[in-house]
Amino acid sequence: MSLELGLKGTPMSEVQVNEEVKLNRGDSALIGTVRLKPNRDKTVRLGHPWVFSKGIASFEGINGGLVRVFCSQNTPIGIGYVNERSNIRLRMLGHFESDPDRLIFRLIKKSIERRKILNIPSNAVRLVNGENDGLSGLIVDCYHRVLVIQIGTLGMEILKDQIVEALDLLVGAPVIYEKSTSISRKEEGLKSSNGWLKKDEEVGLVEIFEKDVRFLIDVVEGQKTGFFLDQRNMRFWLKDHVEHKSVLNLCAYSGGFSLHALKSGASKVTSVDISREACRQMHLNTELNGLKNHEIIEKDVFEFLTNCQERYDIVVLDPPAFIKSKKDLLKGAKAYREMNRLALEKVKNRGIFLSSSCSYFLDEGFFETILLEASLLAKRDVQVIHRHSLALDHMKSLAFREGEYLKTVVMLC
């Protein structure tokens, strides 16, 4: 049986994974060896996938190729891959794996199967979430009949053919697009890589659904892999709170929050985004769902908020990551504070403010401090009514705290 993932608009719970497959080759060839320094295996044993250069005692093998990993006493502790030019020198694949044969296939299969029990009411699903699925350096998102993969490391780059082969066998999607543009590739010695890895049919915009809302996804021109799947649960949360309410959606992208709000009875939605392409997609998506009362404004949020006189029942703020590295922390925090202050001033009394940050370097505690400062500056007495991180399919490994980048706080104002 092939995986009919979304091929007929199938929700994730009804997906079936191909059980009987024949791969062209195993991936046992050319496996090297890494020995860790004494006491450097503790976090790996707990499931953390990274070892930095100072933790490595010796490495024999091909840079980027698979390695067996041993602790200092020579006990095998798993399989990974090495990049000698990267600060993160060793990345583990899976957890306590001992057999390199069909490893990538087995790990991808496990990731897809995990998602089957989540009952996600959509045919747009993250199938592989990097380190959190034991596949450091690999993201796979599925949009109906189209898979989009992101490769972030040399080790995964070398395994690309096996990844495509595994996805082909497991999912059977006619189209696979690669969108490997993360800045981490530079440190791995890799250039950006975009293009079709499989294209058995012509692809334009891909139509997907989330509950009762349809979206057109542009996997080539769109941001990230085409859609912000990570905010799915918050879009669903909003649906229950918008009836007869006016909504301001700031940094709206293709209208995720906006269209769910309108579909669930919001009286009016104003969406603001600086990107022309995002606004174009928002117009298309509004039309696709036959929705009215949607004002789309192509503008910088700071400029919009500075000049806006109106107040709204609900304000959503989901900006891009302002903090891209540790050294940007204070500068980025200032931008978050100012944007949140301005946004809070546009919320009506007893209105709702939903604020997100996707900056990995900003932890939840600091984000809430920024929100407190913003509320004091805006002279608003706010109460937290909900907190959320990632959509269900962005499941996290408890051993990998670094995977927690998205934070959302919902406040009553």
User: What are the residues binding ligand SAM (CB under 6 A)?
Assistant: 223, 228, 231, 251, 253-254, 256-257, 272-275, 278, 300-301, 318-320, 358
- Residues 7 and 102: their CA atoms lie apart, in Å, by 26
CB closer to ligand SAM out of 105 and 253: 253
User: Closest approach of Cβ 381 to ligand SAM, in Å?
Assistant: 26
Closest distance to ligand SAM from the beta carbon of 395 (Å): 19
Q: Phi then psi for 67, rounded to 5 degrees?
A: -135, 150
- Cβ-count burial 218-227 (b if 16+ within 10 Å, e if not): bbeebebbbb
DSSP 8-class letter at 224: T
Q: Which residue is associated with the tokens 């694949």?
A: 93
**394 phi and psi, to 5 degrees?**
-95, 45
- Between 67 and 296, CB nearer to ligand SAM: 296
Q: Are 142 and 6 in contact (CB under 8 A)?
A: yes
* Sequence-ordered alpha helix ranges (H) in 117-159: 154-158
Q: Which is nearer to ligand SAM, 14 or 303 (CB)?
A: 303
Output 69 or 279, the one with its CB closest to ligand SAM. Answer: 279
- DSSP SS3 for 268: strand
Closest distance of CB 99 from ligand SAM, Å: 39
Letter string b/e over residues 353-379, b meaning 16 or more CB atoms within 10 A of that residue's CB = bbbbbbbbbbeeebbeebbeebbeebe
Please state the closest distance from residue 275 (CB atom) to ligand SAM, in A.
4
Please say which residue, 40 or 245, places its beta carbon nearer to ligand SAM.
Answer: 245
Measured from the CB of residue 222, what is the shortest distance to ligand SAM in angstroms?
9
Taking the complex as a whole, the smallest distance from the CB of residue 277 to ligand SAM amounts, in Å, to: 8
- Residue closer to ligand SAM by CB (options 103, 301) is 301
Under a CB-based contact definition with an 8 Å cutoff, are residues 94 and 84 in contact? no
Minimum distance from CB of 8 to ligand SAM (Å)?
25
Longest alpha-carbon distance in the chain: 68
What kind and span of H or E run contains 66?
strand 66-70
With respect to ligand SAM, which residue has the nearer C-beta, 86 or 254?
Answer: 254
Residue 89 CA to residue 187 CA, distance in Å, equals 11
Contact 53, 83 (CB under 8 A): no
Q: How far is the CB of 316 from ligand SAM (least distance, A)?
A: 7
| Residue (162 or 271) nearer to ligand SAM, CB | 271
Burial bucket for residue 122 (CB in 10 Å: 0-12, 13-18, 19+): buried
The structure tokens 């919001």 sit at: 266
Q: In this structure, what token pair is assigned to residue 180?
A: 């490997």
Minimum distance from residue 325 beta carbon to ligand SAM (Å)? 18
Query: How many other CB atoms are there within 10 angstroms of residue 43's CB atom?
Result: 15
For CA atoms 247, 253, 257, 261, the dihedral sign is positive
Closer by beta carbon to ligand SAM, 253 or else 353: 253
